[in-house]
A and B are shown apart, each in its own frame.
Chain A
Amino acid sequence: MSSQFEITEEDKKIASFAALAIAIHVLESGLPSPVPGIKPGLANIITLLVLFRYGWRFAAWVSLLRVTAGSLLLGTFMSPTFVLSLAGALASLLTMLLLWTTARPWVGLTGISVLASVSHVMAQLFVAWWLFIPHPGILVLAPLLVTAGILFGIFNAIIASSIENRLEADPE
């Protein structure tokens, strides 16, 4: 990793945000879910925050660090849960990226968050169906998960926004 800036400073920022995201991820893993491994993705709040403050590369780092370190902490590394987490994270990252680089004047925090959340949850369902439970019955969860995705997307946006506003008040 070469950069024009002090590596430690930026790495610290990434690391601290990643740590926050990991903490949320670990806490969230305790929540129940209709399909083991499919989670609402509350850690996306951090990813959103980071995206808006520092750009998508930063967000990508934080997100992937969150998935990897989180799974190591939870002992699910390389397990189906890890694969699902990764799938969700990658999907939401990709949609965030897409919107961030192409649609910014028309799309705000809410839109990005909702699409990220929905794609997170749909990607997890799809990977669960494709790799782990090929039974078509699992696809029946789709409408439920999309709804949850929309709701959590809005929820995440609200939280991220309020955190952002509070951060605005503080110096960087």
Chain B
Amino acid sequence: MNRNFTGSLEIKIGDWLIILCCLLLIPLAWVMTTHQPGATTAIEITADDKTPVIYSVTNNHSVNVTGELGQSVIEIRDGKVRFSDSPCNSKVCILSGWHQHSGDHIVCLPNKVGITLLSQNDRFDGINF
């Protein structure tokens, strides 16, 4: 068998280009998925495939959300949000603590429950009342 390409680790110019592009992808991906300004005024809770529901953060209260594994409890206090209980194993969502910045997300992936922190700037361009 005639091979004209060895599997040596010699890094060629194309390799550098690829590595560079992929490295650039990191901050690009970060910017495009997280950058959202504005103070949090509401949260949007997504559970499973159900329609997302919006809750205001102005009143302190708890929300029970049923996900794939069971009930997650989301606590809203003083304009901040957190998972206070969840049926997952790792409890990463709970350990991530309180969140308050709009554009932020907290997710309990095993239970398929997600919280998106919204600001007025983000969802609506103006409020009519």
Contacts and interface: CB of A to CB of B under 8 A. Distances in A.
Interface of A: 34-36, 48-49, 52-54, 99, 103-111, 114-115, 118, 133-140, 142-143, 146-147, 149-150, 153, 157-158, 160-161, 164-165, 172
The interface size bin for chain B is 35 or more
Nearest to A35: B109
Given A115-B22, A143-B27, A150-B23, A161 B8 contact: yes
B5 interface: yes
Interface of A, helix, strand, loop or mixed by DSSP: helix
B127 interface: no
25 contacts: A48-B7, A53-B1, A53-B3, A99-B14, A103-B14, A106-B17, A107-B15, A108-B8, A109-B9, A110-B9, A111-B12, A111-B16, A111-B19, A114-B15, A114-B18, A135-B116, A136-B105, A138-B107, A138-B114, A140-B33, A142-B30, A143-B26, A143-B33, A153-B22, A172-B1
Say whether chain B's binding surface is mostly helix, strand, loop, or mixed: mixed
B36 to A, nearest CB: 10
Contacts of A53: 1, 3, 7
7 nearest CB pairs, A to B: A137-B105, A111-B15, A107-B14, A106-B14, A135-B114, A164-B7, A142-B29
A137 B19 contact: no
A110 B18 CA distance: 9
A143 B1 CA distance: 41
A164 B6 CA distance: 9
B57 to A, nearest CB: 17
A34 B29 CA distance: 17
B9 A137 contact: no
A104 B19 contact: no
A108 B12 contact: yes
B16 to A, nearest CB: 8
B109 A133 contact: yes
A135 B105 contact: yes
A139 B46 contact: no
B110 A36 contact: yes
A59 B109 CA distance: 33
